[in-house]
Chains A and B, each alone.
Chain A
Amino acid sequence: MIYTMLIEAWSALVANRLRSALTMLGMIIGVAAVILMLAIGGGVQKQVSDAVSGLGSNMLIVTAGSGRQGPLSGGAGTGASLRIEDADAIAKIDNVAAVAPSTSLAAQVVAGPVNWATQVTGTVPGYFTVNAWPAGDGRLFTDREDRAGARVAVLGQTVADKLFGANDPMGQTVRIKGVSFTVVGLLEHRGQGFGGQDRDDVIVVPLTSALRLLQGNAIRRSIRIISVGVASAAALDQVTDDIATLLRRLHRLRAADQDDFSVANLTAITDTLSTTTAAISLLLAAIGSISLVVGGIGIMNIMLVSVTERTREIGIRMAIGASRAAVRLQFLLEALMLSLIGCGIGVAVGTGLAMLAGRFIGFDTAVTVFAVVVAFAVSASIGIFFGWWPATRAARLSPIEALRS
């Protein structure tokens, strides 16, 4: 019976081709808008998450505790709480792929007549791996140079520009706090960080050299930061906990003591960003759905006209035994068919537009199966919701009056 009614519904739509097509147009535009908006939203989301993963999202950063214990008890002692030994211990934790202890200090750097205030980072070669930061020119320093405390330096792009301008810095000497370092490499361009700071405004030297030659005696073995590369994003939380437990033990903290270090990861930032972009795509989809609702009202309008026009048909059907439920079903099926066919065409149009938009904007605007499923589900609901009233009106007709019309 349903099959027969589907065929009848189809023939009713075909009998009024132009009207059916115009009614569907509302749905087509609505669905195409939603599909397009979801695709663009998804593209934005992907773009952002790719950008974030470039920051090293599988990375944990362990920093020495700072003023956390109050304005007076903070200070030098707490800042010196991380030691190289801590880094060695962290390296032995499960799922830790790489560990790079580093320290940093602000210094005035001199090259011949030019000088420049910048950040000097002392670290091990693993640092470049953990941060996914290769050399743009020349080379990075080696483990051997680090252990030996060699006086070699790798420059960030900004520092190289400021100190050497157009000249080749390779093999040149820079003086940091009166100590001469030979430039062996140039880091790849990095751009701005989240705070807007220039991440290329840096000089990287071996950790041993930095501790020995640049940092004061009192805090010789203390470091500022340990960057920890984690094997997978899934292990981030576990490794974070393990590091905290380990460091509390190594630092002999009692249960009541606060941590004298902190472990941060970039997932907090990633989460915030993905929440934001998800909200953006939701907003875009919401704008699209407004046109869907308008399309639904178009269907209701045309179905009401259709019920009025076909009053006599309804009367005949009732006289030969159609129950009210059967009459309602017939008109609901027509509304549903309008909305679903419109949806199908809308998905095709939306996908086409998304591909076109992707080509223009230059990022991936793939239409997901999810978006298509949602479009069909929403269209079906719209068909039923906006078809219900006209169908009910048809079903409530008195057969005598319907026959008389």
Chain B
Amino acid sequence: MPPLLALDAVVKDYASEAGTFRALHGVSVEVQKGEFMAIMGPSGSGKSTLMNIIGCLDTPTTGTYRFEGTDTATLSEGALAKLRNAGIGFIFQQFNLLPRLSALANVALPMVYSGVASGERNARAQALLASVGLADKPRSRPSQLSGGQQQRVAVARSLANNPQLLLADEPTGALDTRTGVEVLGLFRALNEQKGVTVVIVTHDPEVARATNRVVRIQDGLVFYDGPPTEAALYGHAEATA
């Protein structure tokens, strides 16, 4: 069975006014199904670029990215949209809920795009809200919810189409410590009980500590790939050893 994610010598160049800027210099990472891991790195290290590529929002300049063994370069725009819709669940630092929609409608939105009938959609969205502890808030607008509640709605939304991968970008960045711990606990539960692969992109060592594996990116290269040791979490040079 192929790994869930397989990046092989991924290079990403951006054209800017100053000339071509290379964000990734050849990144090779494999992620197996059921892993619970963090991608770390200071800002400007290329970790956001890596996340965009893993999330199929962007494509490598050279190198290959396989999702469940399929080279994403061979997929059409439509197929990539489908993959984002059903294969990957996104969780963002700023939650990115649609402000006009209720919590229930936000959770149901990915199922609108995957064509789930409305009755089933709403039932499932309600069940997902219940699973993140918000069974009593389906009608609330995001602005009526606390940050932690909004992020839990976002988690429920990311699970709408039963994705294999949860891809979280600084998921606790906008939350206080206690709420952050709750959200991480939610990820852990999903990973252990449902076998969802979780990839968290973060610069926060405390977040990365909760995972089983840390990939540290620096200057567009994999700098460390292994268990969340103190050295790895705090980015000491000797971590490479």
Cβ–Cβ contact A324 & B77, under 8 A? yes
B96 proximal to A (CB < 8 A): yes
Could you say which of B38-46, B63-71, B80-88, B229-237 contacts chain A? B80-88
User: Min CB distance, A88 to chain B, in Å?
Assistant: 80
Q: Which of B52, B114, B118 contacts A400 (CB 8 A)?
A: B52
Chain A residues with Cβ below 8 Å from B161 are 321
A231 proximal to B (CB < 8 A): no
Cβ–Cβ contact A15 & B115, under 8 A? no
Q: Give the nearest-CB partner of A3 in chain B.
A: B118
Which parts of A372-390 form the interface with B (CB within 8 Å)?
Answer: none
Show the binding face of A for B, using Cβ within 8 Å: 1, 3-5, 8, 11-12, 15, 312-313, 316-326, 399-400, 403
A-B contact pairs, 9 of them (CB 8 A): A1-B113, A316-B96, A321-B81, A321-B114, A325-B78, A326-B81, A326-B113, A400-B52, A403-B96
User: Min CB distance, B13 to chain A, in Å?
Assistant: 15
* Binary contact track B29-69/A, C-beta < 8 Å → 1, others 0: 00000000000000000000000100101100000000000
The number of chain B residues touching the other chain, given as a range, is: 20 to 34
User: Min CB distance, B72 to chain A, in Å?
Assistant: 14
Cβ–Cβ contact B118 & A320, under 8 A? no
Q: Give the nearest-CB partner of A404 in chain B.
A: B48
Q: Which of A320, A324, A325 contacts B90 (CB 8 A)?
A: A320
Q: Which of B57, B100, B113 contacts A11 (CB 8 A)?
A: B100
Cβ–Cβ contact B84 & A319, under 8 A? yes
Alpha-carbon distance A282/B96, docked complex (angstroms): 52
Q: Give the nearest-CB partner of A5 in chain B.
A: B112
Alpha-carbon distance A18/B238, docked complex (angstroms): 62
B98 proximal to A (CB < 8 A): yes
Given known contacts A321-B82, A323-B81, A400-B52, A4 and B57 CB-to-CB distance under 8 angstroms: no
User: Min CB distance, B226 to chain A, in Å?
Assistant: 29
Chain B residues with Cβ below 8 Å from A403 are 57, 92, 96
* Binary contact track B95-129/A, C-beta < 8 Å → 1, others 0: 01110110000000110111100100000000000
B157 proximal to A (CB < 8 A): yes
Cβ–Cβ contact A15 & B100, under 8 A? yes
Cβ–Cβ contact B84 & A320, under 8 A? yes
Chain A residues with Cβ below 8 Å from B109 are 317, 320
Alpha-carbon distance A166/B90, docked complex (angstroms): 101
User: Min CB distance, A245 to chain B, in Å?
Assistant: 71
User: Min CB distance, B194 to chain A, in Å?
Assistant: 19
Q: Give the nearest-CB partner of B116 in chain A.
A: A1
Cβ–Cβ contact A4 & B118, under 8 A? yes
Cβ–Cβ contact A321 & B78, under 8 A? no
Given known contacts A15-B100, A324-B81, A403-B96, A319 and B114 CB-to-CB distance under 8 angstroms: no
User: Min CB distance, A208 to chain B, in Å?
Assistant: 88
Alpha-carbon distance A324/B98, docked complex (angstroms): 18
Alpha-carbon distance A204/B97, docked complex (angstroms): 91
Chain B residues with Cβ below 8 Å from A323 are 77-78, 81-82, 113
Chain A residues with Cβ below 8 Å from B114 are 321
Chain B residues with Cβ below 8 Å from A312 are 96
Chain A residues with Cβ below 8 Å from B77 are 323-324
Cβ–Cβ contact A318 & B118, under 8 A? no
Cβ–Cβ contact B86 & A321, under 8 A? yes
Q: Which of A12, A320, A400 contacts B113 (CB 8 A)?
A: A320
User: Min CB distance, A308 to chain B, in Å?
Assistant: 17
5 cross-chain pairs, A with B, having the tightest CB-CB distances, nearest first: A321-B85, A323-B81, A321-B113, A316-B96, A320-B110
Given known contacts A4-B112, A320-B113, A400 and B57 CB-to-CB distance under 8 angstroms: yes
Q: Give the nearest-CB partner of B76 in chain A.
A: A323
